[in-house]
Structure 1
Amino acid sequence: MIRTIIIFIIITMFVISCQKQESKEFVGKQDNKTSEERINLFKDAAIMINGIPYYKEDILNFVYFNFPETSDMDLSNDNLTSLYLDEFINFKVLLEEAVKNNIKIDDVRFEEIVKNIKNLSDESYVISLPISFEKYKKLFKENLIVKEWVNRLIEKNIVVTEDEVKSKYNEFITRYKSSVRYHVLHIVTLNYKDAKKARLELLRGKKFSEVAKKYSVGPEKDDGGDLGNIVLDDMPKVFQFIKKLKVNRISPIYKSDYGYHIFKVVGKVRKENKSYDVLKPRIYQELFTSKVDKFLNNHLKELRKNADIKIYDFNLNITNSDNSSENN
């Protein structure tokens, strides 16, 4: 039955506010079953991770919770379903590690948050998911546990030093030196005769835009020959003559492989690199994000390498991952 489920957008704030208490393990456990029942149960499993079976419903609930816009068509797309399965495995190995490290969530506080979520059914961020509210609660709490564990891993393992930020800043200013941007008007003709006529009309005071539309064959002719603000280092060799021109003066005629050129500089703006203090927060965040991504990727590879992962056929078009196929 489809129930109204709310995606709670302040999960991180809740995780920080949670106090420690005894937590319940969310890694699936088997109850007391006979050997035959257990074998049949495993046969029905879609995937098994470290001896714990998970079923098609488990994976679909995970997908609906974490990818709420997933459609039936998406679930028949091999590339997408392979991604979903990969994310499911990553989540479960992290969850298992979090539980082993005694990550706890305050159940009382959690129930209060869930109650508030249920009461906000008329808000704009309410969506309908094909998942029961109880299963939603379970997935919600598991996500909080994993997020808390990941935050602790990051806090323990990720450090960005002042020297690293300064080094990155120095690379930046070396690569992007201060430059002058020239606001340039441009006419290019295919022959010297037209260029000479155009320049003469400009010297007599005719508007550059009118002359450009009349004589120029360049793509900017429809804009009256206006190239806007340009950096000359990015332009063909003939444009380097612009550096010698005075503002609002009509240039001589310059010849290139493209034709005959007339320029008029109407403004210059020097673009300076921003100071270290201005760029420091941005550089720090880029370094931090890069380190986090690299660390988590390596950490997940190690977890999956040491995990016993088996994938079975379960009619969802989710293909085996590299790690799982190795463990089959």
Structure 2
Amino acid sequence: MRTLPLILAGALAAACGKWGGGAPGAPLAKTVAVVNGEPIAGDALARELRDAQAGADGAPAATGDVLRKRVLDDLVDRALLLQQARARSVAVGQDQVERAFLRLRAEYPGSHFEDLLAQQRLSQAELKARLKEQLTLERLFEQEVFPQVKVPDAEVERYYAAHGAEFEEPERVRVLQIVVASKEEAQQIRDRLRAHPQTFAEVARRSSIAPEGKSGGDLGFIGKGSGFPEVFDVCFTLPPNAISDVTPSPYGFHIFKVVEKRPAQRRTLEQARPAILEKLGRDRRTAAQDEYVAALRKRAKITIDEKALAAVTP
């Protein structure tokens, strides 16, 4: 499920009840395209253009004719997919929409959710309609496209052989840490722990201000050079069960204990297989979606009013 800003960036055709948009009973704005007899109105395209510009987040965005054409292509694709979903009797229940809405709502605490809807001039009913459209398209792909996507074992093996560097794991150590606010307190704790290193987890639960303190200060395994290397790389010089010197950082004063070391190694093919399958499967699903839409376009009757299109502004 995409987060709210991305959902809001989609067309609200389903929410408006027809591709023309606007208030109920209002005349349709000038049609810029017709997809298998279904019109796409200029105001729907203008809304999409505004959303595309607002969603750029500072990144360079296409402008003018290029942006209009790209956004119109997206609208045409969505129209074709929704038409195909209706033809295939792909349906999404209102209970699924409500669950998706509640999951999305939970991502925005307090009044942030309502504030964002108000900013986008969008009602909850319209958002739910947009969610229903999105869920319908997801189900269409799940039923019509993804079952045909397979990643052969030979392709996994070729990827593993060609991308060996991706599966190299640096030296790693499993570390416990205690973080406190003052150097003096850290030095006192260090001295006590050097006399009684077995009490490290107990002291972490009692004294550490770091979030993992409540679980005995266990950071799990960390790789050399990761995170804040100027802080954590000291752990790679420690023998197992030794207590480190006090190490300062922007977050406080750290004391470390290494409980296990693992040398640098390369993941085996079987260890790497799940990640490779996920990556190759994701790439293949994307390609299959593109091919599916291209096939719908090839069979469709699509007409574009270039003059009306050129007149549309955000």
TM-score by length of 1: 0.48
Q: Which structure has the bigger radius of gyration?
A: 1
